[in-house]
Chain A
Amino acid sequence: MNDNGFGGYIRQRREELRTEDSDFSLRKVAAAIDVEPSYLSKIERGDLPPPSEKAILALAKALNENPDMLLALAGKVSTDLQQIIRKRPKLFAEVIRELKDMPDHAVLRVVREVRDGNW
């Protein structure tokens, strides 16, 4: 894998944390997320694609990163979000496309209209 966005970010973040705390060595972080150090090293270098959702969530926890943000860097969408969308795919597809270009503050204020019916 040549595009090293995910791996590069993980490596940079882990190295930053390691300068202050040796618990963030490659070996210790790999142990914390239950993978081999060589596997994590290859991911960080971009030799391997990003790991499973489970491992990414564990990494987010270990490195104190936002899990949705790390999943997005890895080109993934969390299973719970997928389930939410699958329940009402048309509605959420429309909503997400509608919100695409809105500034964050507008997106965060979800508006619910009082529905009018037939009287």
Chain B
Amino acid sequence: MREYETVYIASPQLTEAQVDQLNTKLKGIIERHDGRLFYARNLGKKNLAYRIKKQTKGTYFCLDYASAGTCIVELERSLMLDESVLRFLTVVKAEKVDVDARAAEIEARGEASPVVEEREITQKEMAEVTEAAKEE
């Protein structure tokens, strides 16, 4: 068992029901492979840094879970076939993971809640960031 993190960008044109359907489908795949989902997070609707499939915005989702490698194959396949997913990336977070200990740790930090909305980064904030970078 390894701990993985998958981030995917859903098309902004999807309705809430369609997004829920996509999320439950992915969670179902993890459960089917005896994986353990630590948290699923909605990172919010953000402006993309460049256009993907002619879209300038996208809704970001983040899954953190422990599972076997076979789960990743199916998860990535279903993400690839889904045309409403603009892009996805899976990253190994830890080679060996004690599932219950990790779940307790995330629970303790209060990150286990399924959906955490983050507000969109405004143009003004982006300008501030680039200015700070310039000063450095």
Physical interaction between A and B: no
